[in-house]
Amino acid sequence: IFNKMLTMQGRLRVMARIRPLEMKEGGGGGQRCLSIAPGGDTIMLDFDHNGAHKFRFDKVFSHLPNAHSDTEHGIAEQVLPLALSAMDGYNVCIFAYGQTGSGKTHTMKALTSIICRKLFSSREGFKSKVSVSYTEIYNNEVRDLLRNPKDDHGRSEWGRVDKIDHNVPSLDVRTNSDGKVEVNSISVRITCAEEVEDLVRRGTEIRSTFSTDLNKHSSRSHALLTITCEVENEWAGLKYCGKLNLVDLAGSERLSRSNTEGDRLKETQFINTSLAALGNVMSALAKDQAYIPYRDSKLTMLLSDSLSGNSKVLMMTCIKEGTEEASETLCSLQFGARAKRV
Ligand code: ADP
Ligand code: MG
């Protein structure tokens, strides 16, 4: 895997994945508003009689004609070289962006297990140490998803509608003397892929999810799984430390869609602010600007060392193909396109 990344141009890539229409009883699954142009990397969104909106990505995964294979294997092929460069000492970020129900959690879960399996099978022959931390950012506060569940009162209520434990202390985010952002999250040493999957499964149970009109388990928090790899290559006498961040972002849907108020309104505003901050950082990076606004949100602060320098970034824009979702899909595609080019 050494230097495999040299063959991948650019360190910022934006891909898209289209969740297939739900098959309703009786077979019909609603109207579709998306198609893929020959070549496989341009999505055409056609819904408002203004002609098709076109968006070009690095790769588009879908069951639709012309797209790249949406199988686990098809996606793994495109994503693994980037993800595994964490073992060569790179810092890597993979985001899933999109409205609630577009397949972010589904996609990140699959990617996590594919990547971890490969990570542990390909590190044979190296001396390496892998550790994991798992946090969420909810209303711009960071909470540990690996904390001992027994410590947190009312944990069994989590995930249920309108219950959140405000007593769980949030983690300190601070900048150390080198200007590096640090957070005092729990870090667990890992020896196999199954251990990561198990931690993620348990951590996800306590993630802040709420019922909105859109989805019973609409995630209102960003979940950050950070896999740190320390690799020693005795043969070459080298040591590397790389970091892979797998980020399941909170749903990007706009306020009016979920018809929210009170606490839900506040959450949505925090989500919108942090996603906007992420978009601004990515577009500043894409333009090679001198000033990158990392400090505008906890999300971009926590990820600053994995978004800057020679880190590798992949935004997986998750979209739905139904016509009813077209205006949200347009927003998601615009976000992805802006992150890439502006
Ligand atoms: P999100 O995290 O963006 O809110 P989920 O990942 O929870 O969305 O997906 C919503 C539902 O759609 C889940 O039941 C999931 O299993 C299903 N789903 C998502 N993506 C796909 C896909 N590519 N193929 C089949 N089912 C999918
Ligand atoms: Mg989700």
Over its C-alpha atoms, the chain yields an Rg (Å, rounded) of 20
pLDDT category of residue 214 using cuts at 50, 70 and 90: low
Mean pLDDT lowest among 112-116, 253-257, 330-334:
253-257
Residue nearest to atom 11 of ligand 1 (CA): 101
Ligand 1 closest atom vs CA 106: 6
CA distances from 98 to 78, 219, 225 (A): 20, 11, 18
pLDDT at 160: 36
Q: For residue 157, is pLDDT > 70? A: no
Give percent of the chain with pLDDT exceeding 70: 83
- Pick the more confident residue, 161 or 13: 13
- CA separation for the pair 142, 34 (Å, rounded): 36
- Pick the more confident residue, 284 or 233: 284
> How many residues are listed for the chain in this entry?
342
pTM: 0.90
pLDDT tens digits, 38-66: 999 999 999 888 889 999 999 999 999 99
Distance 317 CA to ligand 2 centre (A): 13
pLDDT tens digits, 179-204: 889 999 999 999 999 999 999 998 88
pLDDT at 8: 41
Average pLDDT over residues 217-230: 89
Residue nearest to atom 9 of ligand 1 (CA): 103
pLDDT tens digits, 115-139: 999 998 876 667 789 999 999 999 9
Judge contact between 137 and 298, C-beta under 8 A: yes
- CA separation for the pair 312, 7 (Å, rounded): 13
Q: For residue 112, is pLDDT > 60? A: yes
Q: For residue 2, is pLDDT > 50? A: no
pLDDT at 328: 94
pLDDT at 206: 79
Closest listed ligand to the CA of 318? 1
Q: For residue 211, is pLDDT > 60? A: no
Ligand 1 closest atom vs CA 219: 4
pLDDT at 29: 61
pLDDT at 217: 57
Q: State which amino acid sits at residue 152.
A: D
pLDDT at 50: 81
Q: For residue 5, is pLDDT > 60? A: no
- CA separation for the pair 231, 235 (Å, rounded): 12
Closest listed ligand to the CA of 110? 1
Pocket test for ligand 1, best of 15, 19, 271 (most atoms within 8 A of CB): 19
- Pick the more confident residue, 324 or 2: 324
pLDDT at 342: 43
pLDDT tens digits, 293-315: 999 999 999 999 999 878 999 99
Q: For residue 263, is pLDDT > 70? A: yes
pLDDT at 153: 45
- Ligand 1, CB within 6 Å, residue ranges: 19-20, 98, 100-106, 215, 251, 318
pLDDT at 316: 97
Per 3-state DSSP, the chain is made up of helix, strand and coil in percentages (nearest 5) of 35, 25, 40
pLDDT at 341: 67
- CA separation for the pair 175, 172 (Å, rounded): 10
Q: What is the mean pLDDT of the chain?
A: 85
